[in-house]
Amino acid sequence: MSAATATTALPAGAAAAGEGRIGLRANLRHIGALARRNVLQIKQDPESMFDALLMPVIFTLLFVYVFGGAVSGKGHQHEYVNYVIPGLMAMMGMNIAMAVGTGINDDFQKGVMDRFRTMPIARSSVLIAKIVVEVGRMLIATAILLGMGFALGLTIETDALHLLAAIALSSVFGASLMWIFILLGLTMKTAQAVQGVAMLVLMPLQFGSSIFAKPTTMPGWLEGFTKVNPLSNLADASRALINGGPVAHSVWMTLAWAVGITVVTAPLAVARFRKKT
C-alpha cells in the first residue's frame, strides 16, 4: 500500500488536533486504522505470511523427527510431541516478533514514515498497530503448530481452558519481545542488519533453553543459563498448562519477564520513534 493510501486510511478527524491533545478514543481509532493498513499490506503481499504458515509445519516435523528419536528413543518420537510442542509455542512467538523490527525498518526505507510524520497522530499508535497485527500472525502460527501437534499425537492432559491460557501466555510474552525488535528496527540502518542482530539474540536463547531438551541433560554451566532464560520459563509454563504439573512459578516468572521487558523497552522504542519522525 502506498504512503498516500495509508494516509487516507486514517480517520478524517485525526487532523483536527495535535498529538498532545489526542484522547484515548481517537488514539484507538488511529491504532485500528493503522492496523487495517498493515493487514492490507499483507493482503497485497501474501508471501509475507509464509513464515507464519510454513514455519510451524517445518519446525514441528524437523524437531520431532530429528530430536525426538535422540530424546525419547528411536521409534518413540510420538512421546516427544507433548514435550516439544509447548516449547515451540514459545519459539514461534520469538521468531514472529523479529518480523516487527524488519517491518518498521522497511517502512522507514520506503518513506512511509515520512507521511506519518506530517499527521497529528500519536507516535505510539504506529508501533502498537504493528504489534496488534503481528500478534494476530502469531496466533495463526500457533494454531497451525497445535494442528500439526495433534496430527502427530499431541494430547491435552488438562483441559481447553488451560490450553487457551498457554496460548494467551505465549502471546503476551511474544508481544513484549516485539518492543525489543522494534527498538532494533529503529536503531539499525537496514532490515538485513536487524535480522543479523536478531539472530544473534535468538539462537542462544532458543537453544540454550528447555524448549527442546530437559536442562538436566546439559552441562552445568548451560543448565544454569537455562534456569534464568525467560524462554525456559515460558516453555515450562506452557508445558505445565498442557500436560499438567506445577504451573504457578513458571507462569508468574514469564509474566514478570513480559512486564519488565515492556516497561524498559516500550518507552525507549517510542522515544526513538519520535526522534526519527
pLDDT at 102: 85
Residues 6+ apart with CB under 8 A from 89: 142, 145, 146, 166, 167, 170, 234, 235, 238
**Are 19 and 126 contacting, i.e. CB atoms less than 8 angstroms apart?**
no
**Are 207 and 232 contacting, i.e. CB atoms less than 8 angstroms apart?**
no
First to last CA, the chain: 20
**Are 198 and 116 contacting, i.e. CB atoms less than 8 angstroms apart?**
no
pLDDT tens digits in sequence order for the chain, 277 residues long: 444 444 444 444 443 334 445 677 778 888 888 888 888 888 888 887 888 899 999 999 988 888 777 776 666 677 789 999 999 998 888 888 888 888 888 878 777 776 776 677 777 788 888 899 999 999 999 999 999 999 999 999 999 999 999 999 999 999 999 999 999 988 988 888 888 888 888 888 888 999 988 888 889 899 899 989 999 999 999 999 999 889 999 999 999 999 999 999 999 998 888 887 6
Q: How far apart are CA 261 and CA 245, in angstroms?
A: 27
The Cα angle at residue 250 between residues 259 and 69, in degrees rounded to 5:
125
pLDDT at 268: 93
Count Cβ atoms within 10 A of the Cβ of residue 132 and give its class: 0-12 exposed, 13-18 middle, 19 or more buried.
middle
Q: How far apart are CA 90 and CA 144, in angstroms?
A: 14
Length in residues, the chain: 277
The Cα angle at residue 138 between residues 151 and 152, in degrees rounded to 5:
10
Q: How far apart are CA 78 and CA 199, in angstroms?
A: 30
Three-state SS string over 151-176 comes to HCCCCCCCCHHHHHHHHHHHHHHHHH
